[in-house]
Structure 1
Amino acid sequence: MKTKSMIFAAATSLIASVTTVQAEETMVISSWLPPSHIMNEIIWPEFIARIEESTEGRVTGTVEYQLAAPPSQADLVEDGGADAAWIFHGYNPGRFVTTKLIEIPGLEGDSAAASAAHWRAHEQILGGANEHEGLVPVAMMVHAPGMLHLSTEISSLDEVSGLKIRSGGGVMGDVLAGLDMAGVQVAAPKVYETVANGVADGTFFPGDTISILRLTEVLPYTYRVPGGFYRGSFSIVMSEEFLSSIGEEDAAAIQAALGEDFSAFAGEAWDEGNNRGVTAQMETGQVIDLDGEAIAKFEALVPQIRQSVLSQVSETGVDAEAALQIIEETMAEYSGN
């Protein structure tokens, strides 16, 4: 027979359990590439796990797809359609300028180092431009150095002039223009049909994306240059309203659990995805490393892009040179140099 104390203890435990369930907040996370993409397979699960741990289970998250087009993710969160999302800054030209610094070709280090550097520069200097107004950035990240994927074979970048290449904006667009290629503006999920229909001859992407979007079927030639043509800049943002709704303690705990450390984690995941994609491309197509005279045109372009980006960022009112120094020093620190 149960004693009164045992019954009381059981009832108390049940009430506590119900209270915990009732107190749990589930944030809606917007994502816009397939579930098999590393953003959804690796990064978002870790994001949710860190939030759950930091809030002792009071806050969790669920990933939902196709809530808005990729270029509309910032507006989606700001307008309350989702509580968190990931943004590719190049999709919003004019709004995000300082984020082009991390995209400059020639920065030395892997994507974990670059993502950590991206966060540190944002926190110390670039955030002063207030480009994420209405949103709360909780991580910054970059994908692996971008490659050029084509439907036809080339032996030198001198041969790409006039080709129609899909561009997502940012420094990717600057490289495209500098190599005399014609830009085709389309978001990542639409690239396959754009190429298959002959509207574009190729695209810039890291390896994971060409694999996930089945672009290896229509773009059999992948071209790499040392350090990549560019890096793609992203941020993970949360809703100001959602963070306010969960209270100061949990909001602070979430932000403390993310930031630079999580940015580095995300960058490492992007590199893992890139390696998978390159392997997939090697199975059905070709991955070709260009160097020497074959990339002379690009190498001559890099200093021009660097100076142009520094000028653009300076016009936002922040110290672009100091921010770039932070990026380079942080990447060297993470790389053990």
Structure 2
Amino acid sequence: MTLTPQDISALTRFRHALHRQPEVSGDEAQTAQRVQAALAALGPDQIVTGLGGHGVAAVFSGAAPGPTVMIRAELDALPIPERPGPAHRSEVEGVAHLCGHDGHMAIVLGVGRVLSRDRPARGRAVLMFQPAEEDGSGAAAVLADPAFAALRPDWAFALHNMPGLPLWGVQVSAGPMNCASCGMRLRFSGRTAHAATPGTGLSPDAAMFELIPALRALGPGGALDPGFRLVTLTHARLGAPTFGIAPGEGELWLTLRSLSDADMVALKAQAQDLAEQAAARHGLGLQITWHDDFAACHNDPQATAQIEAALTAAAIPFGPTDGPMRASEDFGRFAGNGTRAAMFLLGAGEDSPALHDPRYDFPDVLISPGVSAFRAVLRQILG
């Protein structure tokens, strides 16, 4: 069972409607309502709402007992202004679907259209529309929601559109897929002074200037091999923008990145130790907070093998990934506790603007192949 031309037209209109009204992580109420209404029209056996915030899941059950397979899409957009371009461009100031989550939702809704006409032979297919992927909180919130326990899958799959890969090209490999990452915010407090007599105050400037290279040295980057670590300074602020006041407070924002969760634990501890030592050495107050916490994403070998077998059976060409990505993805949190998970990439074109670029717009031509790939995986496992 495949998509009809009418399906593709409807799914394209659905994506464009989502693109016009994007919502950032945690605020996806309207998007969730739109998804819920579209799913309800397909007659699933169950719809669960409010998962981990605004998450929505639809269940399509087979006639015989069997495993549960989850297909995941993301609800949220980015707080980045879209550069004027498509007719369906964002109507929300400063917010846009520049990562292609609108396309992912259209694809998973397309899977629902196919399942509404051709239920799995056994088990359950769960179509999960997850909130708050972009800040790393959504998957964890869904997993912590008591309502998710009844939906917990044996297998979980996702895709991500990928600019730079040939259009329609599919890539998948077992092993590391996305880096772990975490935002570290350092707030230093001292004492202001007149700019003419800075010695009567206590400025954080020396501590901050010492810390920036020291923290960067903890994560120099390089090849994405085991042990890879990267520390990136993303924001710095010192005092008020005036000429008459020596600063008495300041902030550093950094993103810590590693290939494994174990390395992230060590990196966070080392970064915290450096910051605390610098603050103490200079007599400063220090507050450390952590944000946008992403676990590493690893493709389970058995789940990857299921994708490869399904694509082969459906005559969908594919190849291995070029290696793990530095960018983070919270899908990896669904793995474990009995769930085998894997993600594959779907090429958005070699000349496509990059993800998070203000010019990016998910290619509508990816909807049909995305649905075909997921349907092949479901048929492989559920019949």
TM-score, normalised to structure 2, is 0.25
* Structure with more helix by fraction: 1
The structure whose residues are more often strand, as a share, is 2
With a CA cutoff of 8 Å and minimum separation of 6, indicate the structure with the bigger relative contact order: 1
Higher gyration radius (CA): 2
